Amino acid sequence: MRRRGWIVPVAAFILAVIALFSVYAFVFPGRREPLAGSPYTLIIQPNVSTESVDLAKRGLLIANDYLIKRLGRTITTPIDVRLSGFTPCTPFEPIPQLAATGYADARRLCINTRSRVWKSAAANPWIPLALVAHEHFHVLQSQMGCLPPRARKEYAWLTEGSAVYVGWRTVIEADEVSAERAEELFNRLLTSRGALPRLTTYEREIEGDAAYTLAYNAFQILIARGGLSSYMDFCTRVASGENWRAAFAQAFGLTVDQFYAAFESSRR
């Protein structure tokens, strides 16, 4: 009978820890604030600053403007825009200080306001604005069906290169930064990791600022002829089940291997 004396409190303690962890990992507590005249509802965690909220709102508005101007369409379905301050954007991630910069799927996007990129807002507000536009574009990709889950990635550099492109073009065209200043940053990011491997090595996975900038450069060259709409054509094709290499050749007018060869010779 004595045993019961400690089993109950220990079990209660374990249950409490599990419950707390579940809230931390799976729930995104925060106050909801709809962004007037848009399909976005911000979910703001208590330790996120007013400046961060304003920055996120501005990012969403210019991201919308850019897509409407360049593609004649934007996101029209209700989207939750999570501003993370103390719980991670996705379950099983570490604390926000160590977690990914952002996340997006067809119904929500999330910005980690504790990330290094977001903190660069103090000196360069255009960098986090580009991040919002980047994640916002991932929502559109996801809704179109060309944002494959992690395990099924085949053209990762193209997915990220296009989102980086949309992010930077959004802030440049909104006059948040000059093209020259942005170019300086790209060159710095590109060389920050020394010599990078061939673009083809980034089909399954791509990580880090340097590789993202390489993908951005490739994307810019790829759409020089057909513009952003040639990429949207690629998206529509892969979403309908076409093999990505066949979709690439149809949308961009050259094969993946032809493009890799031309791109690698332009890097020398």
Q: Smallest distance from the beta carbon of 134 to Zn ion, in angstroms?
A: 6
Is 92 in contact with 25 (CB distance < 8 Å)?
Answer: yes
Q: Smallest distance from the beta carbon of 138 to Zn ion, in angstroms?
A: 6
Q: How far is 1 from 137, CA to CA, in rounded Å?
A: 62
Q: Smallest distance from the beta carbon of 26 to Zn ion, in angstroms?
A: 23
Q: Smallest distance from the beta carbon of 253 to Zn ion, in angstroms?
A: 25
> Which residue number, 52 or 159, has a Cβ lying nearer to Zn ion?
159
Q: Smallest distance from the beta carbon of 121 to Zn ion, in angstroms?
A: 18
> How far is Cα of residue 107 from the mean position of the Cα atoms in its chain?
13
What is the contact mask toward Zn ion in residues 161 to 190, using x (rule: CB under 5 A)?
--x---------------------------
> Which residue number, 211 or 249, has a Cβ lying nearer to Zn ion?
211
What is the contact mask toward Zn ion in residues 128 to 167, using x (rule: CB under 5 A)?
--------------------------------x--x----
End-to-end Cα separation, the chain, in angstroms:
79
> Which residue number, 55 or 211, has a Cβ lying nearer to Zn ion?
211
> Minimal CB distance to Zn ion: which residue?
163
For residues 125, 129, 134 and 138, what is the CA-based torsion angle, rounded to 10 degrees?
140
Q: Smallest distance from the beta carbon of 160 to Zn ion, in angstroms?
A: 5
> Which residue number, 163 or 238, has a Cβ lying nearer to Zn ion?
163
Following DSSP, what letter does each residue of 143-156 receive, concatenated? HHT----GGG-S-H
Pick from 211, 169, 167: nearest CA to 191: 211
Residue 256 binding Zn ion, by CB under 5 A? no
By rule CB under 5 A, what count of residues binds Zn ion? 2
> Which residue number, 158 or 249, has a Cβ lying nearer to Zn ion?
158
The answer for residues whose C-beta is within 8 angstroms of residue 45's C-beta and 6 or more apart is 28, 29, 30, 83, 84, 85, 86, 87, 113
Tokens describing residue 23: 């809230």
Q: How far is 153 from 147, CA to CA, in rounded Å?
A: 8
Footprint on this chain of Zn ion (rule: CB under 5 A): 160, 163
